[in-house]
Amino acid sequence: MTTTANLVVEPSTESHRRSPIPTGSMIMTRFMELRKRRGLMIAILAVNIGVPTIFLAVRLIAHAVAPHTYGPAGGSSIYDALITGIIYIFGFIVAATLGCTAGAIDLTEGMFRHLVVTGRSRLAIYFARIPAGLMIIVPVVAAGVIIVSTVCVAAAPSKLNYDGINNVPVGLSRQGFVTWADQHYREAACDLNFNFKGPPSGNVVQCGGPRGNSGPQVIKLAPGGGISSSPATKAEMVAQATKSANQDYRDYSTQFLKPSLKLIIKTGLWVELWAIIGFLIGLGLSSLIGQRTVPVVLLIVYEIILTPLFSHVAISHLIPAQRGMVGLAMANIEPNGLPAVFGGQGGGGGPGGGGLPHALTESTLLAWIVISAWIVIWTGLGAWRMATRDA
Amino acid sequence: MSVIAVDENPIAENRQSDWAVETHGLTKRFGNSVAVDGVDLRVPRGCAFGYLGPNGAGKTTLIRVLLGLTHADAGTMSLLGYEVPRHRDTALARVGAIVDEPRFHGHLTGRQNLQILAAAREPAARQRIDSSLERVGMTGRANDRVSKYSMGMRQRLGVAACLLGDPQLLILDEPMNGLDPGGMHDMREMIQSFVAEGRTVVLSSHLLDEVERTCDAVAIVDRGHIIRQGPIAELLSGGDVAVTIECSTPETARQLLATSNLGEHVDVGADGLTVSLAAGSDRSLVAEINRVLVEGDVSVYRLELNQASLESWFLEVTKRLGETE
């Protein structure tokens, strides 16, 4: 039997191993491990970059081939659709999937045990996953937003198509918009949306018949309930155009040919924040549960079903819980100028938002508190479980 | 869970300890079941130490407790003289271990898996990746994905992972599992080379023959208890010894040996004589038997000393324990 010299490693020289702060090489190797997951990377790239790029490429080609049939590829409406319809919602899901993978895969693939046996702090092993995951998700989301923004600005239409009316000038004042409507009284009376806000009363111009044949009709509603109709006069159509323009001005004023730089920056940060939240919730939840599939399913249900549902319905007994939902908090800090995510009528339900409100609004401060709490709680729960679980 | 306060710890923090592993009253329960029951274990430094026991005896659980993969319910322990879990990080800096079957990220190459593990160790560990791979004969397959590795290759990669920390203590849980005879031979040689370098190797196994060939000392564990521990030669010296004799006239030989009182019991069988000797009998007794037979005009064709193997000794000990209970 051979006798060896005793180990001469002093605890003080190795004390950094107890630190919960991961080293750069721990972060980089974790980044490598996640980056090499081909299927996951394809999904992340496809959702954030692939789908918007293909969609815009098809529109660019179609417009180039048949410009009169297919409108310009870019513009504000396309920007809104791609940002709120694709990158925001599905970007969250793939970010959450990445988080769930980062949180659980060491356990399920048996590497956690190897890592714990190195003597390195379990918290450091856990926290290394956060910058590693963010190094993937943040640039990919940024690339998606940049591609969408670039095309939507560069290939924006030169005239606004508003409520089906082509060549509406943009950026008019309320008076300017009413004046334009009066000058184009026939189109404005027939095409601008008009909300009666209650039972119709007075004279209403209706354009049901093919214009040019029977022409616009004016429906006359008698106080006793009787209805009669006759061809609308110019004065009646101008009056209707004025009413509609006044009512639609708030919506019209949010319309742009292309997104502004300010909106692009705000939108980019907002979408990035949502992806980061998705990643961190996924990381914490999967670390807590110790597996990947169930957390992924739970977060998809949360994003696709629960958040839209509770964004549109205020249930009196559940209002405090609804206010605590991070999806709702995010909707309340949505940048002005975007349509409400999850199919609402206007961007940003809360005080910071520019559109019509969601069913449940909350202050910007409360929204930020909710967002911060979700990040801290889920990250903390994941860290606690990783530090205490059997390996 | 009862936690032992640091001040009550009977193991003094002794860097000069002769023991690579030392436990006192170590206990681990899973509900009502006691997997490790008051284990007092001492593994000397610089040897290959076998931790033997049947399946379910608590071998892996003890290893998991030692490495901090799960918490002990009671007792104290130290690795390389460092009290754990108090100085777990320092102790594990020079410990390499495979627990259960070695599993890695299948989508990464062997080298990339080692890079992840090296990053969790000190910076010098990264410099040891190539030499570790070379040591276990995996250089040629280091850039292949682990998902394409055989069980034996994963075992080798597991050993390479252990070597990243230049360990003074290696704890290998069933390292022969899944290996073909050639692989077992290579693993055995590797373990012996580690010991020759002054490292301590704790080998948990239920393959008694392999442990006997590889290890200097053993501890036998059954149902969470350590039954015996010590150097193999010492433990076996207490076992039965027999001499098989092939000769010209077995009956004459039996009578000669019976009158000389050299053996405890003499049997005549088809293969010749079998003489049972007292436990701990000296080899000189074999020469004495030969002399008596030759002087009695018996021609001796073959004379073979059959010492108890670790396997027979283990079965004997566990059988006795079972009868006692």
Q: What percent of chain B has pLDDT over 70?
A: 90
Kindly determine whether residue B120 and residue A5, on different chains, have CB atoms separated by under 8 Å.
Answer: no
Per-residue pLDDT tens digits for A148-170? 999 999 998 888 878 888 888 88
Residues in Cβ contact with B152 at an 8 Å cutoff, skipping those fewer than 6 apart:
B178, B179, B180, B183
Q: Is the pLDDT of residue A6 over 60?
A: no
Write out the residue range of the structural domain in which residue B265 sits: 240-307
* Domain assignment of residue B272, yes or no: yes
Chain A residues with CB-CB distance to B90 below 8 A: 9-11, 14, 17, 119
Round to whole Å and give the CA distance between A311 and A330. Answer: 11
pLDDT band with cut points at 50, 70 and 90 for residue A341:
low
Question: Is there a single domain that holds both residue B256 and residue B117?
Answer: no
Surface of B (65-104) touching A: CB under 8 A: 67-71, 80-82, 87-97, 99-100, 102-104
Of the listed ranges A139-143, A250-254, B124-128, B237-241, the one predicted with least confidence: B237-241
* Residues B271-285: tens digit of each pLDDT: 788 888 876 677 788
Dist. CA B80–CA B95, nearest whole Å: 9
* pLDDT confidence band for A277 (50 / 70 / 90): very high
At residue A364, the 3 state secondary structure works out as: helix
Show the CA angle centred on residue B10, arms to residues B6 and B11, nearest 5°: 90
Q: How does pLDDT run across B156-184, given as a tens digit for each residue?
A: 999 999 999 999 999 999 888 878 888 88
**With contact defined as beta carbons under 8 Å apart, do B126 and A41 qualify?**
no
Q: What does the pLDDT read at residue A214?
A: 57
**B262 vs B31 pLDDT, higher one:** B31
Whether B257 is in a domain gets the answer yes
User: Mean pLDDT, to the nearest integer, of A293-314?
Assistant: 90
Whether B199 has its CB under 8 Å from any CB of chain A: the answer is: yes
CA-nearest residue of chain B to A3? B46
Q: Are residues B248 and B204 in the same domain?
A: no
Answer yes or no: are the C-beta atoms of B198 and B49 closer than 8 Å.
Answer: no
Size of interface A-B (CB pairs under 8 A): 138
Could you tell me if B199 and B60 lie in one domain? yes
B196 and B259, same domain (yes or no): no
Mean pLDDT of B130-152: 94
Q: Both B200 and B258 in a single domain? A: no
Say whether pLDDT at A11 is over 50.
no
The A residues from 90 to 109 touching B (CB cutoff 8 Å) are 105, 109
Q: Which of B19, B107, B116 to mutate to test the interface with A (most CBs of A within 10 A)?
A: B116
Query: Which range is most confident: A302-306, A344-348, A377-381, B261-265?
Result: A377-381
Q: Mean pLDDT over all residues of chain A? A: 85
Alpha helices, DSSP H, located in chain A: 24-35, 38-45, 51-65, 76-82, 88-108, 111-117, 122-127, 129-154, 174-183, 185-191, 234-252, 261-289, 293-301, 307-312, 319-323, 326-332, 364-388
* B116–chain A Cβ distance below 8 A for any pair: yes
Quickly list DSSP for A270-327.
HHHHHHHHHHHHHHHHHHHHT-SHHHHHHHHHIIIIIHHHHHH---GGGHHHHHT-HH
CA pseudo-torsion sign B252, B258, B263, B265? positive
Residue A60 has pLDDT above 90, yes or no: yes
CA B185 to chain centroid: 15
Per-residue confidence (pLDDT) for residue B239, from 0 to 100: 64
High-pLDDT (> 90) share of chain B, %: 47
B166 and B146 within one domain = yes
Query: In the structure, what pLDDT confidence band is assigned to residue A3 with cuts at 50, 70 and 90?
Result: very low
Residue B244 has pLDDT above 50, yes or no: yes
Could you tell me if A4 lies within 8 Å of chain B, comparing CB atoms? yes
What pLDDT is recorded for position A175?
Answer: 93
The answer to the question of residue B267 being in a domain is yes
Q: Give CA angle at B182 (B176, B185), nearest 5°.
A: 60
Chain A contact for B233 (CB, 8 A cutoff): no
The pairing of strands A165-168 and A160-162 is: antiparallel
Say if residue A88's pLDDT is above 90.
yes
pLDDT single digits (tens) B102-116: 899 999 999 999 999
**What distance in Å separates the CA atoms of residue A52 and residue A144, rounded to the nearest whole number?**
7
Q: Which of B9, B187, B163, B138 shows the shortest CA–CA distance to B82?
A: B9
Question: Does residue B154 sit in the same domain as residue B285?
Answer: no
**If 0-12 CB within 10 Å is exposed, 13-18 middle and 19+ buried, where does residue A378 land?**
buried
Handedness of CA A281, A285, A288, A292 (dihedral sign): negative
State the CATH number of the domain containing residue B276.
Answer: 3.30.70.260
| A34 vs A319, residue with greater confidence | A34
Which tokens go with B282? Answer: 């000296």
Q: Is residue B268 part of a domain?
A: yes
Same domain for B193 and B259? no
Residue B258 lies in a domain: yes
C-alpha A51/C-alpha A45 separation (Å) is 9
- Are B142 and B221 in a shared domain? yes
pLDDT at B323: 59
- What pTM does this model have? 0.80
**Could you write out the three-class secondary structure of A4-55?**
CCCCCCCHHHHHHHHCCCCCHHHHHHHHHHHHCCHHHHHHHHHHHHHHHHHH
The DSSP code sequence of B231-284 is EHHHHHHTS-EEEEEEES-HHHHHHHHHHHT-SSEEEEETTEEEEEE-TT--TH
What does the pLDDT average to over A375-388? 96
Whether residue B136 lies inside any domain: the answer is yes
CA separation, residue A297 to residues A45, A300, B249, B324 (Å): 20, 5, 83, 55
Res A68 pLDDT > 60 = yes
The rounded distance, in Å, linking the Cα atoms of B297 and B123 is 74
Question: Is the pLDDT reported for residue A266 higher than 80?
Answer: yes
Return the pLDDT at A157. Answer: 86
Measured between beta carbons, which residues in chain A are less than 8 angstroms from residue B92? 117-119
CA distance B43 to A158: 83
Q: How confident is the model at residue A186 (pLDDT cuts 50, 70, 90)?
A: confident
pLDDT of residue A286 exceeding 90 = yes
Report the gap between the CA of A4 and the closest CA in chain B (Å).
Answer: 5
Residue type, position A27, single letter: I
- CA–CA–CA angle B255, B259, B264 (5° rounding): 90
Element (H, E) at B96: strand B95-98
- Please judge whether B105 and A125 are an interchain contact, meaning their C-beta atoms are less than 8 angstroms apart: no
Quick: pLDDT tens for B57-101: 888 999 999 999 999 999 999 999 999 888 888 899 999 999 988
More confident residue, A317 or B194: B194
CA-to-CA distance for B287 and B297, rounded, in angstroms? 16
The answer to whether residue A222 neighbours chain B at the CB level (below 8 Å) is no
- Residue B104 distance to chain A (closest CA, Å): 6
Residues 6+ apart with CB under 8 A from B50: B203, B204, B205, B211, B212, B214, B215, B217, B218, B219, B232
Q: Which of A222, A61, A85, A97 is nearest to A148 (CA)?
A: A85
Q: What pLDDT is stored for residue A220 in this prediction?
A: 66
* A354 pLDDT more than 80: no
Q: For position B185, which CATH number holds?
A: 3.40.50.300
% of chain A beyond a pLDDT of 90: 54
Residues B57, B75: one domain?
Answer: yes
CA–CA distance from A186 to each of A230, A243, B77 (Å)?
16, 13, 91
Q: Which residue has tokens 């000392």?
A: B217
Whole-number pLDDT of residue B147? 95
Number of domains in chain B: 2
Q: Comparing A358 with A315, which gets the higher pLDDT?
A: A315
Indicate whether B290 and B216 sit together in one domain: no
Out of B64, B69, B216, whose CB is closest to A1?
B216
Mean pLDDT of chain B, nearest integer: 85
pLDDT exceeds cutoff 80 at B5: no
Q: Give domain status of residue B31, yes or no.
A: yes
Interface of A with B in 20-39 (CB under 8 A): 23, 25-26, 28-30, 32-33, 36-38
Range with the largest mean pLDDT of A107-121, A252-266, B208-222: A107-121
pLDDT of residue A204: 75
- Domain contains B275: yes
- Quick one: tokens of B301? 């064709």
Do B214 and B280 reside in the same domain of the chain?
Answer: no
Q: Which residues in chain A have Cβ-Cβ distances shorter than 8 Å to B44? A: 1
